[in-house]
Amino acid sequence: MGLDKYKEKRDKSKTPEPFGGKSDKDILRFVIQKHAASHLHYDFRLEMEGVLKSWAVPKGPSTDPEIKRLAMMVEDHPYDYRTFEGIIPQGQYGGGTVIVWDEGTYEPSDFDGKSKAEKEKHLLHGLHSGKFKFVLKGKKLKGEFALVKAHGRGENGWLLMKLDDKHASANDITKKDKSVVSGQTLEQVAATSTNIYGKKQPKTDEQKIKKKVKAKEETPQEINLEADTLLKKGTKSKILSGVKPMLATLVNEPFDDPEWAYEVKWDGYRAVAYINKAKAEISSRNNKSFTEKYYPITSALSESGINAVLDGEILVIGKDGKANFGALQNWRSEADGDLVYYVFDLLWYEGKDITALPLFERQAILKEILPTNDDHLRLSQVFTANGIDFFEAAKKMELEGIMAKKLSSPYVQDARTKDWVKIKVNQRQEVVIGGFTNNEGSSKPFSSLLLGVFKNGNFEYVGKVGTGFTEKKQKEMMEQFKPLITKESPFGFEPDVNKPSRFRPNPPKATATWLKPELVCEVSFTEITSDGVFRHPSFEGMRSDKSAKEVVREKAESTQQIIENPEVKPEKVTDDVKLVSA
């Protein structure tokens, strides 16, 4: 494999990681590094041909011969990487904290060769054939182990297992959590390491919220669930296509219930990813292609080494570590912010449709198989916490809200279900743009947007918004407006765009230009007036991922009714909408 891929993914000026090194002429070395990247995993590395052949092991090694650990082969690393301990900056490949969890020498088992060259030749033959055994002489791991190609886990899937000998033990070796070099834990290295490029990186929203609530990162049912066992429950099928994702119901308040788990409500674009035979495609919730637009995520998925259908949310992360919703539509390159795909569900994996499995089992498989070595892909963490405390923490952090999902819920495509609910911190609503105004004497491209939603087949006026966009953004939007200009109001009447209010008793004289109701945007607001108009709205961003026909006024349902009446059937999402005028 060589180091070409390793070097392609890293910038020497922005990471303290090694880029070379010369191996010892007589012995073979190994290292296991504990790595808190997008999610925690262990990097298992064996020296061969002057580089470190590397596998990412999500659950870490085991000394129990009854346990086989998934190990996803990744790119070769330079020899000097075996001593690296420190912090890889967020935004760089594999961003996170690294410790040397174990190190030592190793050699092939059941082999009489004496020289290093003979041993390497034997090991490489086993590597290429998909099975080889070796003896580790580390500070924590000792004795005979094997790496075997995993059937049905893609070309990069392997299984790491301990073979039965005097060093075998049922005790959890990963509880020995300190570095064999510094004697420090990951947390201590993260707090004290000077081996880092640039300034201290901002914490992610998940890292912040974890400190604010007493929350476990895994559901009680997830413990000891092995992906191989759970996948047997799936239905054999070809890769899914044209998936319209399962949607959540808006409710009016947070709640506590041990049968539900909680997640951050991400402020981005919903996206379904299809990975098959090293080729990836990404679609919006309405099957619009995101494949080319968000190419770094497409590339990371293509190189993931798995065949899967994933559900998640695409975000742009700014320099402050927060999601920037407004930057999503016009994202062009990393200069516009870091792209991240937060994955929260797995629908199909290696020939098995698993949508009928309960949520906690799908998430257990996802946690085991999602690659951990590219920061563009992150596992959305699941918290079994006090839901009310979790919501209050999200509120203090000014997040969009939280998601609550029933642990037993199957995945129902193209339906709004009561098994998934969302609780918003601030009031926000998707709306359709039905026109724009120009104030007399203004030099701006437009002064406000005229907004509507669909109700019973009619396009209903809900007010106007005149704040939240820059002049640059307005110019970009005007290019989208031009082909949609029409002579008649799409609302069925002409709203009074010069109507005074108690806040603006003498508004400037404005003229309206009408648009076909096809473009969707999102606004925040404080409340809805008695005549159904938004009060103090502010523009948040365009929603190129949403279909105008689906935009209706979202009304929060009673949390208590949903929790107490769990048998309500999912509502199918339909496009049955009639335009009053176009």
Locate 54 and state its tokens: 């590397």
Backbone angles phi, psi at 123, to 5 degrees: -65, -40
C-beta of residue 229 within 8 angstroms of C-beta of residue 357: no
Close Cβ partners of 396 (under 8 Å, ≥ 6 residues apart): 212
C-beta of residue 48 within 8 angstroms of C-beta of residue 127: yes
Give the three-class secondary structure for 420.
strand
CA distances from 386 to 108, 170, 214 (A): 50, 33, 8
CA distances from 438 to 364, 498, 509, 510, 514 (A): 54, 11, 8, 5, 12
Residues acting as catalytic residues: 265
Beta carbons within 10 angstroms of residue 577's beta carbon = 18
C-beta of residue 305 within 8 angstroms of C-beta of residue 156: yes
**Distance in angstroms (rounded) separating the CA atoms of residues 264 and 280:** 26
Partnered with residue 92 across adjacent β-strands are none
Partnered with residue 381 across adjacent β-strands are none
528-532: Cβ within 8 A, 24+ apart:
532/460, 532/462
C-beta of residue 86 within 8 angstroms of C-beta of residue 193: yes
Burial class (CB in 10 A: 0-12, 13-18, 19+), 218: middle
**Distance in angstroms (rounded) separating the CA atoms of residues 160 and 133:** 10
Calculate Rg over the CA atoms of the chain: 27
How far from the centroid of its chain's Cα atoms is residue 226's Cα?
Answer: 22
Locate 368 and state its tokens: 């085991």
Give the three-class secondary structure for 561.
helix
CA distances from 427 to 17, 395, 430, 536, 540 (A): 44, 12, 11, 11, 12
C-beta of residue 515 within 8 angstroms of C-beta of residue 481: yes
**Distance in angstroms (rounded) separating the CA atoms of residues 474 and 437:** 12
**Distance in angstroms (rounded) separating the CA atoms of residues 431 and 98:** 45
**Distance in angstroms (rounded) separating the CA atoms of residues 458 and 290:** 30
**Distance in angstroms (rounded) separating the CA atoms of residues 114 and 135:** 15
Backbone angles phi, psi at 336, to 5 degrees: -90, 0
Beta carbons within 10 angstroms of residue 86's beta carbon = 18
